[in-house]
Structure 1
Amino acid sequence: MDSSNHEQTKTEIAGSFVAQTNSMIFIPRFPFLQGKTYIIKTNDYQKEFFVPKSVKSKPEVTEIYPTKNTIPENILRMYIQFSNPMKTTGNLKNIKLYDSNGVEVKGAIFNNVYELWNEAQTQLTIIFDPSRVKTGLKINENLGRALEAGENYKIVVSNLEDIYGQRLKNSYTKHFYVTEEDTQSPNHELWRVTSPKANTVESLNIDFKESIDIMSLQNRLFVFTSHNDRIDGKIEFSNNEKSWKFIPNQKWTKGDYTLKINSRLSDPSGNNLNGLFDHKIGSLKYRQEGKIQELKFNIK
Protein backbone atom coordinates (compact mmCIF):
# COMPACT_ATOMS: atom_id res chain seq x y z
CA MET A 1 0.00 0.00 0.00
CA ASP A 2 1.40 3.38 -1.01
CA SER A 3 0.72 6.99 -0.02
CA SER A 4 1.52 10.03 -2.14
CA ASN A 5 0.70 13.62 -2.89
CA HIS A 6 1.92 13.09 -6.43
CA GLU A 7 3.07 10.15 -8.48
CA GLN A 8 6.79 10.75 -7.97
CA THR A 9 6.93 10.27 -4.18
CA LYS A 10 5.47 7.14 -2.62
CA THR A 11 5.93 5.65 0.82
CA GLU A 12 4.84 2.14 1.72
CA ILE A 13 2.54 2.11 4.74
CA ALA A 14 3.41 -0.40 7.46
CA GLY A 15 0.54 -2.48 8.77
CA SER A 16 -1.17 -5.85 8.65
CA PHE A 17 -4.00 -7.49 6.70
CA VAL A 18 -6.92 -9.40 8.23
CA ALA A 19 -8.90 -11.75 6.00
CA GLN A 20 -12.71 -11.61 6.13
CA THR A 21 -15.20 -13.88 4.35
CA ASN A 22 -15.52 -11.67 1.29
CA SER A 23 -13.04 -8.92 2.00
CA MET A 24 -9.65 -7.96 3.36
CA ILE A 25 -9.07 -5.36 6.11
CA PHE A 26 -5.83 -3.38 6.31
CA ILE A 27 -4.84 -2.14 9.76
CA PRO A 28 -2.10 0.53 9.56
CA ARG A 29 0.63 0.49 12.19
CA PHE A 30 0.07 4.23 12.66
CA PRO A 31 -3.08 6.27 11.88
CA PHE A 32 -3.60 7.47 8.33
CA LEU A 33 -2.69 11.15 7.91
CA GLN A 34 -5.71 13.32 7.30
CA GLY A 35 -5.73 15.43 4.16
CA LYS A 36 -3.62 12.84 2.31
CA THR A 37 -4.28 10.61 -0.70
CA TYR A 38 -3.45 6.90 -0.49
CA ILE A 39 -3.19 4.19 -3.12
CA ILE A 40 -4.24 0.56 -2.76
CA LYS A 41 -2.24 -1.43 -5.28
CA THR A 42 -2.01 -5.12 -6.23
CA ASN A 43 -0.62 -6.82 -9.32
CA ASP A 44 -3.77 -6.13 -11.34
CA TYR A 45 -5.65 -3.49 -9.31
CA GLN A 46 -5.08 0.09 -8.21
CA LYS A 47 -7.39 2.54 -6.47
CA GLU A 48 -6.89 5.88 -4.74
CA PHE A 49 -8.73 7.07 -1.66
CA PHE A 50 -8.57 10.36 0.21
CA VAL A 51 -8.64 10.79 4.00
CA PRO A 52 -10.39 14.13 4.65
CA LYS A 53 -9.34 16.49 7.40
CA SER A 54 -11.52 16.83 10.45
CA VAL A 55 -11.71 20.00 12.48
CA LYS A 56 -9.43 19.75 15.51
CA SER A 57 -7.88 22.19 17.93
CA LYS A 58 -4.27 22.99 17.16
CA PRO A 59 -1.82 20.71 18.94
CA GLU A 60 -0.04 21.76 22.10
CA VAL A 61 2.73 20.34 24.25
CA THR A 62 0.98 19.27 27.43
CA GLU A 63 4.04 18.18 29.45
CA ILE A 64 7.72 17.32 29.30
CA TYR A 65 8.99 14.59 31.61
CA PRO A 66 10.79 14.54 33.98
CA THR A 67 8.56 17.31 35.33
CA LYS A 68 11.04 18.50 37.95
CA ASN A 69 13.17 21.55 37.10
CA THR A 70 16.42 20.01 38.38
CA ILE A 71 17.98 17.40 36.10
CA PRO A 72 21.12 15.27 36.71
CA GLU A 73 23.90 15.83 34.19
CA ASN A 74 23.75 12.18 33.12
CA ILE A 75 20.04 12.19 32.22
CA LEU A 76 19.32 9.68 29.47
CA ARG A 77 15.71 10.27 28.40
CA MET A 78 12.99 12.89 28.30
CA TYR A 79 9.41 12.52 27.09
CA ILE A 80 7.33 15.15 25.30
CA GLN A 81 3.56 14.74 25.42
CA PHE A 82 1.12 16.35 22.98
CA SER A 83 -2.62 17.05 22.95
CA ASN A 84 -3.08 15.60 19.44
CA PRO A 85 -1.58 12.61 17.59
CA MET A 86 1.47 13.93 15.76
CA LYS A 87 3.40 13.18 12.58
CA THR A 88 6.21 10.79 13.40
CA THR A 89 9.08 11.93 11.17
CA GLY A 90 11.24 15.04 10.85
CA ASN A 91 10.53 16.35 14.34
CA LEU A 92 13.90 16.19 16.09
CA LYS A 93 15.24 19.13 14.08
CA ASN A 94 12.55 21.27 15.75
CA ILE A 95 13.50 20.27 19.29
CA LYS A 96 16.51 22.28 20.44
CA LEU A 97 18.59 22.52 23.61
CA TYR A 98 20.07 25.89 24.64
CA ASP A 99 22.51 26.90 27.37
CA SER A 100 22.09 29.87 29.71
CA ASN A 101 23.64 32.19 27.08
CA GLY A 102 21.07 31.20 24.47
CA VAL A 103 23.60 29.18 22.48
CA GLU A 104 22.29 25.94 21.00
CA VAL A 105 23.93 22.82 22.44
CA LYS A 106 24.36 20.70 19.34
CA GLY A 107 24.86 16.94 19.33
CA ALA A 108 23.17 16.51 22.70
CA ILE A 109 19.94 14.86 21.53
CA PHE A 110 20.46 11.56 19.74
CA ASN A 111 19.15 11.73 16.17
CA ASN A 112 17.33 8.40 15.84
CA VAL A 113 16.71 7.01 12.37
CA TYR A 114 13.19 6.23 13.58
CA GLU A 115 11.60 8.54 16.11
CA LEU A 116 10.35 6.88 19.30
CA TRP A 117 6.58 7.47 19.55
CA ASN A 118 3.94 5.68 21.56
CA GLU A 119 1.15 3.93 19.65
CA ALA A 120 -1.20 6.91 20.02
CA GLN A 121 1.50 9.20 18.55
CA THR A 122 1.05 11.58 21.48
CA GLN A 123 4.34 10.92 23.32
CA LEU A 124 7.82 11.32 21.84
CA THR A 125 10.90 9.94 23.59
CA ILE A 126 14.08 11.97 23.16
CA ILE A 127 17.40 10.42 24.12
CA PHE A 128 20.50 12.27 25.20
CA ASP A 129 23.34 10.73 23.19
CA PRO A 130 24.25 7.61 25.25
CA SER A 131 27.85 7.70 23.98
CA ARG A 132 28.25 11.07 25.70
CA VAL A 133 26.35 10.06 28.84
CA LYS A 134 28.39 6.90 29.42
CA THR A 135 31.96 7.46 30.61
CA GLY A 136 34.92 5.58 29.17
CA LEU A 137 33.76 5.97 25.58
CA LYS A 138 35.80 7.97 23.08
CA ILE A 139 33.03 10.49 22.34
CA ASN A 140 32.54 11.13 26.04
CA GLU A 141 36.28 11.59 26.52
CA ASN A 142 36.50 14.00 23.56
CA LEU A 143 33.31 16.01 24.05
CA GLY A 144 32.21 15.33 27.61
CA ARG A 145 28.56 15.23 28.59
CA ALA A 146 26.19 17.59 26.84
CA LEU A 147 24.90 18.95 30.16
CA GLU A 148 27.16 20.51 32.78
CA ALA A 149 26.36 20.48 36.49
CA GLY A 150 25.69 23.94 37.93
CA GLU A 151 24.36 25.36 34.65
CA ASN A 152 20.89 26.33 33.43
CA TYR A 153 19.39 25.08 30.17
CA LYS A 154 16.17 25.09 28.24
CA ILE A 155 14.54 22.80 25.68
CA VAL A 156 12.41 24.50 23.05
CA VAL A 157 9.81 22.59 21.01
CA SER A 158 8.37 24.40 17.98
CA ASN A 159 6.80 23.92 14.53
CA LEU A 160 5.86 20.26 14.92
CA GLU A 161 2.74 19.17 13.02
CA ASP A 162 -0.08 16.84 14.01
CA ILE A 163 -1.59 14.21 11.71
CA TYR A 164 -4.12 16.82 10.55
CA GLY A 165 -1.34 19.04 9.17
CA GLN A 166 -1.69 21.64 11.94
CA ARG A 167 1.40 23.16 13.55
CA LEU A 168 1.81 23.60 17.27
CA LYS A 169 -0.38 26.37 18.61
CA ASN A 170 2.60 27.78 20.50
CA SER A 171 6.24 26.86 20.97
CA TYR A 172 6.94 25.25 24.33
CA THR A 173 9.94 25.86 26.57
CA LYS A 174 11.12 23.82 29.54
CA HIS A 175 13.73 25.50 31.76
CA PHE A 176 15.85 23.38 34.06
CA TYR A 177 18.94 23.45 36.26
CA VAL A 178 21.55 20.68 36.03
CA THR A 179 22.80 18.94 39.16
CA GLU A 180 25.60 16.42 39.71
CA GLU A 181 25.28 13.00 38.06
CA ASP A 182 22.89 10.45 39.54
CA THR A 183 24.90 7.38 40.56
CA GLN A 184 22.26 5.62 42.67
CA SER A 185 20.04 2.86 41.31
CA PRO A 186 16.39 2.63 42.39
CA ASN A 187 15.98 0.29 45.37
CA HIS A 188 12.57 -1.36 45.72
CA GLU A 189 13.37 -2.40 49.29
CA LEU A 190 13.19 1.27 50.32
CA TRP A 191 9.81 1.97 48.72
CA ARG A 192 6.84 2.74 50.92
CA VAL A 193 3.70 0.83 49.93
CA THR A 194 0.31 1.99 51.23
CA SER A 195 -2.37 -0.67 50.85
CA PRO A 196 -6.01 0.15 50.08
CA LYS A 197 -9.01 -1.22 52.00
CA ALA A 198 -10.97 -4.29 50.95
CA ASN A 199 -14.31 -3.84 49.14
CA THR A 200 -13.18 -0.49 47.70
CA VAL A 201 -11.50 0.76 44.55
CA GLU A 202 -9.06 2.85 46.58
CA SER A 203 -5.64 3.22 45.02
CA LEU A 204 -2.57 1.19 45.87
CA ASN A 205 0.06 3.87 46.54
CA ILE A 206 3.85 3.67 46.26
CA ASP A 207 6.36 6.30 47.32
CA PHE A 208 9.64 5.60 45.49
CA LYS A 209 11.66 8.24 47.39
CA GLU A 210 13.07 9.38 44.02
CA SER A 211 11.90 10.19 40.49
CA ILE A 212 11.26 7.21 38.21
CA ASP A 213 11.28 7.16 34.42
CA ILE A 214 7.67 7.38 33.20
CA MET A 215 8.00 4.49 30.74
CA SER A 216 8.93 2.36 33.74
CA LEU A 217 5.93 3.68 35.66
CA GLN A 218 3.71 2.72 32.73
CA ASN A 219 5.24 -0.65 31.81
CA ARG A 220 7.39 -2.15 34.59
CA LEU A 221 5.01 -2.50 37.56
CA PHE A 222 2.19 -5.06 37.79
CA VAL A 223 -0.20 -6.18 40.52
CA PHE A 224 -1.06 -9.87 41.04
CA THR A 225 -3.32 -11.84 43.37
CA SER A 226 -2.06 -14.70 45.55
CA HIS A 227 -3.27 -17.02 42.75
CA ASN A 228 -0.92 -15.24 40.31
CA ASP A 229 -3.74 -13.54 38.40
CA ARG A 230 -2.86 -10.10 37.10
CA ILE A 231 -5.20 -7.30 38.16
CA ASP A 232 -6.25 -4.74 35.56
CA GLY A 233 -6.53 -1.09 36.43
CA LYS A 234 -5.51 2.51 35.79
CA ILE A 235 -2.12 4.03 36.58
CA GLU A 236 -1.42 7.56 37.77
CA PHE A 237 1.85 9.20 38.84
CA SER A 238 2.63 12.50 40.54
CA ASN A 239 5.06 14.39 42.80
CA ASN A 240 7.69 14.69 40.04
CA GLU A 241 7.23 10.99 39.27
CA LYS A 242 8.13 9.95 42.82
CA SER A 243 4.61 8.64 43.54
CA TRP A 244 2.62 5.92 41.73
CA LYS A 245 -1.03 5.00 42.09
CA PHE A 246 -2.82 1.90 40.85
CA ILE A 247 -6.64 2.07 40.73
CA PRO A 248 -8.20 -1.35 40.05
CA ASN A 249 -11.08 -1.88 37.65
CA GLN A 250 -12.79 -4.07 40.28
CA LYS A 251 -13.04 -3.78 44.05
CA TRP A 252 -10.20 -5.18 46.12
CA THR A 253 -10.87 -8.33 48.11
CA LYS A 254 -9.19 -9.35 51.35
CA GLY A 255 -5.97 -11.27 51.00
CA ASP A 256 -2.34 -11.27 49.96
CA TYR A 257 -1.08 -9.56 46.82
CA THR A 258 2.21 -9.15 45.00
CA LEU A 259 3.64 -6.14 43.21
CA LYS A 260 5.87 -7.56 40.47
CA ILE A 261 8.65 -5.26 39.31
CA ASN A 262 10.68 -5.77 36.16
CA SER A 263 14.31 -5.10 37.13
CA ARG A 264 14.59 -2.84 34.06
CA LEU A 265 12.57 -0.25 35.98
CA SER A 266 14.81 2.81 35.87
CA ASP A 267 15.23 6.43 36.85
CA PRO A 268 15.57 9.18 34.20
CA SER A 269 19.33 8.52 34.00
CA GLY A 270 18.81 4.89 32.98
CA ASN A 271 19.92 3.45 36.32
CA ASN A 272 17.70 0.44 37.01
CA LEU A 273 17.15 -2.19 39.68
CA ASN A 274 19.89 -4.26 38.10
CA GLY A 275 22.55 -1.55 38.37
CA LEU A 276 23.80 1.74 36.97
CA PHE A 277 23.51 2.71 33.31
CA ASP A 278 27.17 3.71 33.52
CA HIS A 279 28.13 0.44 35.20
CA LYS A 280 31.47 -1.31 35.50
CA ILE A 281 31.87 -4.84 34.16
CA GLY A 282 30.69 -7.35 36.73
CA SER A 283 28.78 -4.80 38.83
CA LEU A 284 25.22 -5.76 37.79
CA LYS A 285 23.11 -7.46 40.45
CA TYR A 286 21.50 -10.10 38.24
CA ARG A 287 22.86 -12.04 35.30
CA GLN A 288 19.50 -11.89 33.55
CA GLU A 289 18.12 -8.50 32.49
CA GLY A 290 14.43 -8.12 33.24
CA LYS A 291 14.46 -10.40 36.26
CA ILE A 292 11.24 -9.92 38.24
CA GLN A 293 11.43 -8.60 41.79
CA GLU A 294 8.49 -8.78 44.17
CA LEU A 295 6.93 -6.72 46.93
CA LYS A 296 4.22 -8.38 49.02
CA PHE A 297 1.30 -6.50 50.55
CA ASN A 298 -1.93 -7.43 52.28
CA ILE A 299 -5.43 -6.01 52.05
CA LYS A 300 -7.74 -6.23 55.06
Structure 2
Amino acid sequence: MRTIKLGTSNLEVPVIAVGCMRINSLSKSEAERFVRTALDEGANFFDHADIYGGGACEEIFADAIQMNDDIREKIILQSKCGIRKGSFDFSKEHILTSVDGILKRLKTDYLDVLLLHRPDALVEPEEVAEAFDILQSSGKVRHFGVSNQKPMQIELLKKYVKQPIVANQLQLSITNATMISNGINVNMENDSAIDRDGSVLDYCRLHDITIQPWSPFQYGFFEGVFLGNDKFPELNQKIDEIAAKYNVTNTTIAIAWLLRHPARMQPVTGTMNIERLKDCCKAADVYLTREDWYEIYRAAGNVLP
Protein backbone atom coordinates (compact mmCIF):
# COMPACT_ATOMS: atom_id res chain seq x y z
CA MET A 1 0.00 0.00 0.00
CA ARG A 2 1.06 3.55 -0.66
CA THR A 3 2.69 5.18 2.38
CA ILE A 4 3.32 8.63 3.80
CA LYS A 5 5.55 10.02 6.53
CA LEU A 6 3.62 10.51 9.77
CA GLY A 7 4.00 14.18 10.58
CA THR A 8 7.62 15.28 10.79
CA SER A 9 8.78 11.83 11.86
CA ASN A 10 10.60 9.26 9.74
CA LEU A 11 7.84 6.74 10.42
CA GLU A 12 6.45 5.43 7.13
CA VAL A 13 2.78 4.58 7.52
CA PRO A 14 0.14 3.26 5.10
CA VAL A 15 -2.35 5.89 3.96
CA ILE A 16 -5.14 3.82 5.50
CA ALA A 17 -5.26 3.23 9.26
CA VAL A 18 -7.31 0.30 10.55
CA GLY A 19 -9.57 1.38 13.41
CA CYS A 20 -10.16 -1.32 16.02
CA MET A 21 -12.94 0.32 18.06
CA ARG A 22 -15.46 -2.38 17.16
CA ILE A 23 -13.25 -5.47 17.09
CA ASN A 24 -14.97 -6.70 20.27
CA SER A 25 -18.07 -7.32 18.11
CA LEU A 26 -16.25 -10.16 16.34
CA SER A 27 -15.78 -13.76 17.37
CA LYS A 28 -12.21 -15.00 17.91
CA SER A 29 -12.02 -16.54 14.45
CA GLU A 30 -13.59 -13.46 12.84
CA ALA A 31 -11.10 -11.17 14.58
CA GLU A 32 -8.20 -13.33 13.40
CA ARG A 33 -9.46 -13.25 9.83
CA PHE A 34 -10.03 -9.49 9.99
CA VAL A 35 -6.48 -8.81 11.16
CA ARG A 36 -4.98 -11.17 8.57
CA THR A 37 -6.94 -9.45 5.83
CA ALA A 38 -5.67 -6.03 6.91
CA LEU A 39 -2.08 -7.27 6.82
CA ASP A 40 -2.60 -8.90 3.43
CA GLU A 41 -3.83 -5.55 2.12
CA GLY A 42 -0.75 -3.76 3.42
CA ALA A 43 -2.77 -1.98 6.10
CA ASN A 44 -0.46 -2.67 9.03
CA PHE A 45 -1.29 0.50 10.99
CA PHE A 46 -3.78 -0.28 13.75
CA ASP A 47 -5.56 2.44 15.74
CA HIS A 48 -6.74 1.76 19.31
CA ALA A 49 -7.84 3.62 22.46
CA ASP A 50 -7.88 2.53 26.06
CA ILE A 51 -11.65 3.15 26.25
CA TYR A 52 -12.60 0.98 23.28
CA GLY A 53 -14.57 -1.87 24.77
CA GLY A 54 -13.26 -0.81 28.17
CA GLY A 55 -9.85 -2.07 27.07
CA ALA A 56 -11.18 -5.35 25.69
CA CYS A 57 -10.57 -4.30 22.08
CA GLU A 58 -6.81 -4.09 22.67
CA GLU A 59 -6.79 -7.53 24.31
CA ILE A 60 -8.86 -9.08 21.50
CA PHE A 61 -6.56 -7.54 18.88
CA ALA A 62 -3.41 -8.86 20.58
CA ASP A 63 -4.88 -12.36 20.70
CA ALA A 64 -6.17 -12.15 17.12
CA ILE A 65 -2.81 -11.15 15.70
CA GLN A 66 -1.02 -13.64 17.98
CA MET A 67 1.33 -10.95 19.19
CA ASN A 68 5.01 -11.86 19.40
CA ASP A 69 8.31 -10.12 18.66
CA ASP A 70 8.27 -11.13 14.99
CA ILE A 71 4.71 -9.86 14.44
CA ARG A 72 5.40 -6.68 16.40
CA GLU A 73 8.16 -5.64 14.00
CA LYS A 74 5.74 -5.85 11.09
CA ILE A 75 2.96 -3.65 12.48
CA ILE A 76 2.46 -0.08 13.64
CA LEU A 77 0.43 0.41 16.80
CA GLN A 78 -1.31 3.61 17.83
CA SER A 79 -3.48 4.06 20.89
CA LYS A 80 -5.14 6.93 22.70
CA CYS A 81 -5.71 7.89 26.31
CA GLY A 82 -7.27 10.69 28.33
CA ILE A 83 -10.97 9.82 28.47
CA ARG A 84 -12.37 8.68 31.80
CA LYS A 85 -15.96 8.00 32.78
CA GLY A 86 -17.54 11.42 33.17
CA SER A 87 -14.34 13.41 32.60
CA PHE A 88 -11.16 13.89 30.61
CA ASP A 89 -7.75 13.49 32.22
CA PHE A 90 -4.36 14.57 30.85
CA SER A 91 -2.64 14.40 34.23
CA LYS A 92 0.84 12.90 34.34
CA GLU A 93 -0.33 10.07 36.57
CA HIS A 94 -3.25 9.13 34.35
CA ILE A 95 -1.23 9.21 31.12
CA LEU A 96 1.50 6.99 32.56
CA THR A 97 -0.97 4.56 34.12
CA SER A 98 -3.01 4.41 30.93
CA VAL A 99 -0.01 3.62 28.77
CA ASP A 100 1.06 0.80 31.08
CA GLY A 101 -2.43 -0.68 30.76
CA ILE A 102 -2.42 -0.29 26.99
CA LEU A 103 0.94 -2.03 26.64
CA LYS A 104 -0.17 -4.88 28.85
CA ARG A 105 -3.37 -5.43 26.90
CA LEU A 106 -1.62 -5.23 23.53
CA LYS A 107 1.15 -7.56 24.76
CA THR A 108 3.90 -5.24 23.60
CA ASP A 109 6.72 -3.20 25.13
CA TYR A 110 6.06 -0.03 23.16
CA LEU A 111 3.59 2.02 21.17
CA ASP A 112 4.62 3.56 17.89
CA VAL A 113 2.20 6.44 18.48
CA LEU A 114 0.27 7.73 21.50
CA LEU A 115 -2.51 10.29 21.04
CA LEU A 116 -4.21 12.40 23.71
CA HIS A 117 -7.83 11.52 23.03
CA ARG A 118 -10.06 14.55 23.76
CA PRO A 119 -9.07 17.97 25.11
CA ASP A 120 -8.94 18.13 28.89
CA ALA A 121 -10.18 21.53 30.10
CA LEU A 122 -8.03 21.11 33.21
CA VAL A 123 -4.86 20.17 31.34
CA GLU A 124 -1.57 21.27 32.83
CA PRO A 125 0.80 21.05 29.87
CA GLU A 126 3.82 20.84 32.15
CA GLU A 127 2.49 17.49 33.40
CA VAL A 128 1.90 16.25 29.87
CA ALA A 129 5.49 17.18 29.04
CA GLU A 130 6.79 15.24 32.03
CA ALA A 131 4.72 12.20 31.08
CA PHE A 132 5.89 12.32 27.46
CA ASP A 133 9.55 12.60 28.55
CA ILE A 134 9.20 9.55 30.79
CA LEU A 135 7.42 7.53 28.11
CA GLN A 136 9.98 8.44 25.47
CA SER A 137 13.08 7.87 27.62
CA SER A 138 11.73 4.53 28.82
CA GLY A 139 11.07 3.43 25.25
CA LYS A 140 7.36 2.90 25.91
CA VAL A 141 6.21 5.43 23.28
CA ARG A 142 8.10 6.50 20.16
CA HIS A 143 5.88 9.23 18.73
CA PHE A 144 3.19 11.51 20.13
CA GLY A 145 0.08 13.24 18.84
CA VAL A 146 -3.35 14.51 19.74
CA SER A 147 -6.96 13.93 18.81
CA ASN A 148 -9.81 16.41 18.39
CA GLN A 149 -7.63 19.42 19.19
CA LYS A 150 -7.61 22.87 17.62
CA PRO A 151 -4.48 24.92 16.88
CA MET A 152 -4.19 26.93 20.08
CA GLN A 153 -4.58 23.80 22.20
CA ILE A 154 -1.72 22.24 20.28
CA GLU A 155 0.32 25.42 20.59
CA LEU A 156 -0.17 25.38 24.35
CA LEU A 157 1.14 21.81 24.49
CA LYS A 158 4.07 22.66 22.24
CA LYS A 159 5.15 25.41 24.63
CA TYR A 160 6.12 22.67 27.09
CA VAL A 161 6.27 19.39 25.16
CA LYS A 162 9.56 18.90 23.30
CA GLN A 163 8.43 15.92 21.23
CA PRO A 164 6.91 16.75 17.81
CA ILE A 165 3.12 16.44 17.52
CA VAL A 166 2.93 14.09 14.54
CA ALA A 167 -0.83 13.53 14.19
CA ASN A 168 -4.20 15.05 14.98
CA GLN A 169 -7.19 12.70 14.73
CA LEU A 170 -10.28 14.70 13.72
CA GLN A 171 -13.82 13.96 12.60
CA LEU A 172 -13.96 14.43 8.86
CA SER A 173 -16.05 12.98 6.05
CA ILE A 174 -17.76 14.14 2.88
CA THR A 175 -20.78 15.19 4.96
CA ASN A 176 -18.77 16.46 7.96
CA ALA A 177 -16.38 18.76 6.15
CA THR A 178 -16.65 22.07 8.01
CA MET A 179 -12.87 22.32 8.29
CA ILE A 180 -12.76 22.39 4.49
CA SER A 181 -15.89 24.52 3.94
CA ASN A 182 -14.84 27.39 6.17
CA GLY A 183 -11.66 27.75 4.14
CA ILE A 184 -13.67 28.02 0.92
CA ASN A 185 -16.29 30.44 2.25
CA VAL A 186 -13.90 33.02 3.65
CA ASN A 187 -15.65 36.21 4.82
CA MET A 188 -19.01 35.00 3.53
CA GLU A 189 -22.34 35.49 5.30
CA ASN A 190 -23.35 31.83 5.45
CA ASP A 191 -23.05 28.95 7.89
CA SER A 192 -20.25 27.35 5.87
CA ALA A 193 -18.03 30.34 6.66
CA ILE A 194 -18.17 29.67 10.40
CA ASP A 195 -14.74 28.70 11.70
CA ARG A 196 -15.46 26.00 14.28
CA ASP A 197 -11.92 24.75 14.73
CA GLY A 198 -9.47 27.63 14.46
CA SER A 199 -8.48 26.74 10.88
CA VAL A 200 -7.11 23.41 12.07
CA LEU A 201 -6.75 22.06 8.54
CA ASP A 202 -4.43 24.86 7.46
CA TYR A 203 -2.61 24.75 10.79
CA CYS A 204 -1.85 21.05 10.48
CA ARG A 205 -0.61 21.52 6.93
CA LEU A 206 1.61 24.42 7.98
CA HIS A 207 3.14 22.41 10.81
CA ASP A 208 3.33 19.04 9.03
CA ILE A 209 0.89 17.35 11.39
CA THR A 210 -0.87 14.40 9.78
CA ILE A 211 -4.65 14.63 9.99
CA GLN A 212 -6.28 11.26 10.68
CA PRO A 213 -9.98 11.55 9.73
CA TRP A 214 -12.18 9.43 11.98
CA SER A 215 -15.68 8.23 11.07
CA PRO A 216 -15.08 8.83 7.34
CA PHE A 217 -18.53 7.42 6.46
CA GLN A 218 -20.57 9.08 9.21
CA TYR A 219 -22.83 12.12 9.07
CA GLY A 220 -23.53 14.14 12.19
CA PHE A 221 -22.11 12.77 15.42
CA PHE A 222 -22.57 9.01 14.93
CA GLU A 223 -26.04 9.51 13.45
CA GLY A 224 -25.36 6.96 10.73
CA VAL A 225 -23.53 6.47 7.45
CA PHE A 226 -24.29 8.55 4.38
CA LEU A 227 -23.54 5.80 1.85
CA GLY A 228 -26.79 4.25 0.61
CA ASN A 229 -28.77 6.56 2.89
CA ASP A 230 -32.04 7.98 1.54
CA LYS A 231 -31.25 11.27 3.29
CA PHE A 232 -28.49 11.90 0.75
CA PRO A 233 -29.90 10.96 -2.68
CA GLU A 234 -27.88 13.45 -4.74
CA LEU A 235 -24.64 12.58 -2.97
CA ASN A 236 -25.11 8.85 -3.39
CA GLN A 237 -26.03 9.24 -7.04
CA LYS A 238 -22.83 11.21 -7.67
CA ILE A 239 -20.63 8.82 -5.66
CA ASP A 240 -22.11 5.82 -7.49
CA GLU A 241 -21.53 7.55 -10.83
CA ILE A 242 -17.87 8.22 -10.03
CA ALA A 243 -17.42 4.75 -8.53
CA ALA A 244 -18.55 3.26 -11.85
CA LYS A 245 -16.08 5.50 -13.67
CA TYR A 246 -13.19 4.05 -11.65
CA ASN A 247 -14.69 0.55 -11.46
CA VAL A 248 -14.68 0.54 -7.65
CA THR A 249 -17.32 0.66 -4.90
CA ASN A 250 -18.86 3.69 -3.25
CA THR A 251 -16.84 2.86 -0.12
CA THR A 252 -13.63 3.24 -2.07
CA ILE A 253 -14.69 6.61 -3.45
CA ALA A 254 -15.63 7.97 -0.01
CA ILE A 255 -12.09 7.26 1.22
CA ALA A 256 -10.46 8.36 -2.04
CA TRP A 257 -12.20 11.74 -1.61
CA LEU A 258 -10.28 12.27 1.63
CA LEU A 259 -7.01 11.00 0.19
CA ARG A 260 -7.32 13.39 -2.77
CA HIS A 261 -6.90 16.37 -0.46
CA PRO A 262 -3.30 17.66 -0.56
CA ALA A 263 -3.05 17.63 3.24
CA ARG A 264 -1.87 14.00 2.86
CA MET A 265 -4.37 12.61 5.36
CA GLN A 266 -4.53 9.12 6.84
CA PRO A 267 -8.21 8.08 7.19
CA VAL A 268 -9.07 5.71 10.03
CA THR A 269 -11.51 2.99 9.02
CA GLY A 270 -14.05 1.67 11.49
CA THR A 271 -15.60 -1.23 9.62
CA MET A 272 -15.28 -4.82 10.80
CA ASN A 273 -16.58 -6.07 7.47
CA ILE A 274 -13.72 -7.67 5.54
CA GLU A 275 -14.99 -6.76 2.09
CA ARG A 276 -15.54 -3.14 3.09
CA LEU A 277 -12.05 -3.05 4.59
CA LYS A 278 -10.67 -4.24 1.26
CA ASP A 279 -12.68 -1.55 -0.50
CA CYS A 280 -11.23 1.07 1.85
CA CYS A 281 -7.71 -0.12 1.07
CA LYS A 282 -8.34 0.12 -2.68
CA ALA A 283 -8.72 3.88 -2.24
CA ALA A 284 -4.94 4.12 -1.89
CA ASP A 285 -4.72 3.47 -5.63
CA VAL A 286 -7.52 5.81 -6.75
CA TYR A 287 -6.68 9.43 -7.53
CA LEU A 288 -9.78 11.53 -8.12
CA THR A 289 -9.66 14.40 -10.56
CA ARG A 290 -10.26 17.93 -9.32
CA GLU A 291 -13.65 17.83 -11.06
CA ASP A 292 -14.59 14.54 -9.35
CA TRP A 293 -13.66 15.93 -5.94
CA TYR A 294 -15.68 19.13 -6.32
CA GLU A 295 -18.68 17.33 -7.79
CA ILE A 296 -18.84 15.10 -4.71
CA TYR A 297 -18.33 18.11 -2.43
CA ARG A 298 -21.24 19.97 -4.02
CA ALA A 299 -23.47 16.88 -4.11
CA ALA A 300 -23.16 16.69 -0.32
CA GLY A 301 -24.97 20.03 -0.11
CA ASN A 302 -21.90 22.23 0.06
CA VAL A 303 -22.33 25.45 -1.89
CA LEU A 304 -19.44 27.23 -3.55
CA PRO A 305 -19.48 31.02 -3.08
Same fold (TM over 0.5): no
> Quick check: which one's helix share is greater?
2
Structure 1 or 2: more strand by fraction = 1
